[in-house]
Amino acid sequence: MARKSESEHNKMIRALVGHLEQEKFIDIKADHIGGDQPDQINWKGGGGHIPDVKAKKGGVTYLFEVETDDSINDDHTADQLRLFSKAAESWDNHAFNVLVPKDSKEELEAVLTELDITNAGVWTI
């Protein structure tokens, strides 16, 4: 999906990967920036999405979705957030986090509330 902030999105993914490496996460896989990408997570009825970043630390697998100002309210984003939240909830030792620009934190929190997603951590950059 092309959007005006695709380069910002990819820059945020790179920054997240760098942070995770500093924090000693392992088995880091990232979509959109080359290298190993995470596996697609599928809905039971078919179709699915690839999380932007997947990493492990302390026996927990973390799923990360990165959103920019212009993607927070997309239907595509809502579907991803629902899927990754549900996956993290139903699988043992999984956590789900969303990374957004600092100025978009409140907007993301409103979207998560509207979607009834209560298990997503919100990270800002």
Query: Looking at the domain assignment, is residue 1 inside a domain?
Result: no
Domain containing residue 70 = 6-124
Residue 37 lies in a domain: yes
Q: Is residue 3 pLDDT above 90, yes or no?
A: no
User: Could you tell me where the DSSP H helices lie in the chain?
Assistant: 6-22, 75-90, 105-114
Residue 61 belongs to some domain of the structure: yes
Q: How far is 44 from 42, CA to CA, in rounded Å?
A: 6
Q: What is the pTM of this model?
A: 0.94
The closest alpha carbon to 41, from 23, 58, 29, belongs to 29
Q: Is 38 helix (H, G, I), strand (E, B) or coil?
A: coil
Amino acid at 43: W
In-domain check, residue 54: yes
The total domain count for the chain is 1
Does 35 fall in a domain? yes
Q: What is the mean pLDDT of the chain?
A: 94
Give the pLDDT confidence score for residue 106 in this predicted structure.
97
Q: Using the predicted structure, report yes or no on whether residue 66 has a pLDDT greater than 60.
A: yes
Binned at pLDDT 50, 70 and 90, residue 35 comes out as confident
Q: Where residue 98 sits, what CATH number does that domain have? A: 3.40.1350
Residue 55 pLDDT greater than 60, yes or no: yes
Residue 39 burial (10 A CB sphere; 0-12, 13-18, 19+): exposed
Average pLDDT over residues 29-50: 94
